[in-house]
Copies of this chain bind each other. A is one copy, B any other.
Amino acid sequence: MNKPLSPTTSRYMPTDSPQSASGAPVAVKSLSNNHTRRQFLKSTLQTTGVAALGLSAKTYGYTAKEVQDFFVDGQMQRNVSQWELDTPALCVDLDILEANINTMQSTTRRNGIASRPHAKTHKCPIIARLQLDTGSVGICTAKVGEAKVMFEHGIEEIMMTTTNVTPTKIKRAMELSRINTSFIHATDSMSNARLLSEAAQAFNITAPVVVDIDPGGHRTGITPGESALMLAQLIDSLPGLSLRGLLCYDGGSQHVQGFAARRDQTLGRLAAATATYDLFQASGLSTEIFSGGGTGTYNIDHNIRGLTDVQVGSYLFMDTQYLAIGGENDNSVYSDFGASLTILTTVLNDQYEGRCTTDAGAKACTINQPWPQVKGEQGMSYTSGSDEFGTLRYEANASRTYRTGEKLELIVSHCDPVVNLYNHLYAIRGETVEAIWPIAARGMST
């Protein structure tokens, strides 16, 4: 699996005086000198793998900043083997990604609900487009900044799952609403609903809103039942707002170990949300949207009466945290979805017994646990507790050892915060880099 370390002199040639393998100078084209911006953008679009995914290229108007991000030291790293990539590199296996999307779309369709995937996981407009074009009814975002980036890349069906509470954020959200009438706001208090309505009126718009219901974790959301009903009635009466339904994200149940325990917990916790849904219905209020669920409960949530869609995110990529929860058919490994997201890392030091050091530490992997797993290998453990370096330790039954300069692939610990560390994602088919996708909403935490 590893690229042999066989440097040749030509690898080291300065880029402004290249030589052929025989040592003779060769002609080179500088992209920046010989391509017009139009030609360049066109070629960029052709090379992003959009066509390969059956999507329309016109949606992908990259900003100048993103075009810059495609380049690593002035060179487009496409059509090379993934083992040639500079590391640490965040990679997604396209075959596995597409299979995961297919599983989610077909399962939710079969169960009579839809998916409204959460873009907080991927922060990547190309993936959002892929989700929408394969049947998702919209995407979710946790932050206004994420929603704005998605919209700037042609994604319109966006629902924010977080309540915006400050004047600054409400203003930014309403500015987005003004140019994207599909954008849906969340709210969880009467005072906030009044602020939203006031802001929407100032913008001369009617903003779609859903009520965020607390599933019992007391993190966000209003208490289900009468409180939620009163909030919905207020929204329905306010001049700047248009009630669209409710959301109840049971984050605390997603990682419950074992399918049966997970099912029982989430169905129990969502009972109050369902009762609230009934109250909305009995009062003639909109329940067009009743959104909930996640990757851990995607094949359970359709049992919740009235639920329309699941806010799944991690199913795209998977990670060691989700693999550990067990699935309906296999209680030891959650195998419904494949681990498509990996970090490619290089061994920097092999001089010490029983271990080696790599270039992927906490800044490349986070310190979430279970720690990253070396893909395809057994009998070794990886830790990324050090900021700059990863540590690989061999057990007695290690399937192999590594030499300095060799590369290995890590299944990530927790996909969301890992993706948020990288500017781009290498989209791999087989072992070849098919595209480089900007993680355009990376760091959009406001």
Using a CB–CB distance below 8 Å, which chain A residues touch chain B?
5, 7, 9, 11-15, 64-65, 68, 72-73, 84, 86-89, 120, 142-143, 148, 162-163, 165-172, 174-175, 178, 188-189, 191-192, 195, 198-199, 202-203, 214, 218-223, 251, 346-349, 351-352, 355, 357, 359-360, 362-364, 366-368, 386-389, 391, 404-405, 416-417, 420-423, 442-443, 445-446
Contact = CB atoms under 8 A, between A and B. Distances in A.
A190 B342 CA distance: 31
A414 B172 CA distance: 31
A406 to B, nearest CB: 9
Contacts of A163: 348-349
Nearest to A439: B443
Contacts of A368: 367
A417 B192 CA distance: 34
Task: Tell me the number of copies of this protein.
Answer: 2
A256 to B, nearest CB: 16
Contacts of A195: 7
A184 to B, nearest CB: 17
23 contacts: A5-B167, A7-B167, A7-B195, A7-B199, A12-B198, A13-B202, A64-B64, A73-B148, A87-B446, A88-B446, A162-B359, A165-B404, A188-B349, A189-B351, A189-B404, A219-B349, A219-B391, A220-B357, A223-B351, A360-B445, A363-B445, A421-B421, A422-B443
Given A9-B198, A165-B404, A218-B357, 6 more contacts: A14-B178, A15-B175, A72-B446, A86-B172, A165-B347, A223-B351
Nearest to A388: B142
A167 B13 CA distance: 11
Contact of A346 (B166, B352, B359): B166
A293 B142 CA distance: 41
A219 B5 contact: no
A72 B145 CA distance: 10
Given A12-B167, A175-B14, A86 B446 contact: yes
Given A348-B162, A446-B89, A386 B14 contact: no
Given A14-B175, A175-B15, A203-B12, A443 B416 contact: no
Given A9-B202, A12-B170, A203-B12, A445 B219 contact: no
A170 B351 contact: no
Contact of A88 (B68, B168, B359, B445): B445
A220 B404 CA distance: 11
Nearest to A15: B175
B446 A120 contact: no
A175 B15 CA distance: 8
